[in-house]
Amino acid sequence: MSAIKTITKASHLIDMNDIIREGHPTLRAVAQDVTFPLSEDDIILGEKMLQFLKNSQDPVTAEKMELRGGVGLAAPQLDISKRIIAVLIPNPEDKDGNPPKEAYALKEVMYNPRIIAHSIQDAALADGEGCLSVDRVVEGYVIRHSRVTIEYYDKNSDKKKLKLKGYQSIVVQHEIDHTNGIMFFDRINEKNPFEIKEGLLLIE
């Protein structure tokens, strides 16, 4: 049975066994655009990807299902070579430990997402990046654009445009990279992984 048929079955919850790891050829392929109106499978796939991220961020569910926490997932990571990504970025608690008014800073399934504009300034996460498809720690600054404007379609086939900066911008760029066959460690300077070029914004 194909990966999409397995994953879109009503009873199926995405877990770590569905996620392919580095070395798998699908992670290096350029994914196909989805066509509109979206197929039922593509809509269900997007919803299941978002549900996986929710489950992975819930301590009880994550422990029960043995999930690694994630804020983004791309269809190619499920061995489905389509331009579909899901992002679920929680808002932090305030300084007193109170929950945020809005649970999520960004919660979206994006079909055919692409970067249409970006800043000249580069940015990287101070603690580096990880990936659900990479089971090892890869140290170094992953150099990305500090700000991006992206265009994508939602599950209703409506075209959307979004300006992102900081952490949200980094997460979405990481997932869009997956649809282009690019892994996060491709963006680390091999000779000098922690090189800070002039103007680089380090995001804590």
Q: Please give the annotated binding residues, written as ranges.
A: 131, 174, 178
| Distant-in-sequence, close-in-space partners of 99: CB < 8 Å, separation ≥ 6 | 93
Distance CA 141, CA 189 (A): 8
Residue 195 catalytic?
no
Residue with tokens 């996060």: 184
Residues tagged in the binding site annotation for Fe cation: 131, 174, 178
Distance CA 37, CA 57 (A): 31
CA atoms within 13 A on the CB side of 133: 27
Which residues in 7-158 belong to E strands, given as ranges?
A: 72-74, 84-90, 104-118, 122-125, 144-145, 147-153
Distance CA 166, CA 125 (A): 9
Residue type, 97: G
Measured from the Cβ of residue 125, the count of other Cβ atoms closer than 10 Å reads 19
DSSP state string for 22-41: TT-GGGGSPPBPP-SSPPHH
Of the candidates 139, 175, 198, 204, the residue annotated as catalytic is 175
Active-site residue list: 175
